Amino acid sequence: MIRSTWRKRSYARTSTQALSNATARYVELLADLGLEAACRKQPALLGGINTRDGRVTYAAVAEAHGLKFEAPF
């Protein structure tokens, strides 16, 4: 039986393109404004900050590891 590998490669390529398209605007926002200002403008970014300046800034991560939670800003 001949297996079709082109289909697998095309899925990987299109999923990579979709991920790039979805995240590019956030990367640009971070580059233009910096972390704190970008998070003020787009609060959804806060969910991606697990640690900052040696502090755990994501409550679920802190709880899972028995560490103190601190707000990122």
The DSSP code sequence of 8-24 is: HHHHHHHHHHHHHHHHH
pLDDT at 44: 92
In a domain, 49, yes or no: yes
The pTM (predicted TM-score) of the whole model is: 0.69
Give me the residue label for tokens 């095309």.
10
Domain that holds residue 35: 6-65
- Number of domains into which the chain is organized: 1
DSSP 54: T
In a domain, 45, yes or no: yes
In a domain, 1, yes or no: no
pLDDT at 14: 86
Q: Which parts of the chain register pLDDT below 50?
A: none
In a domain, 72, yes or no: no
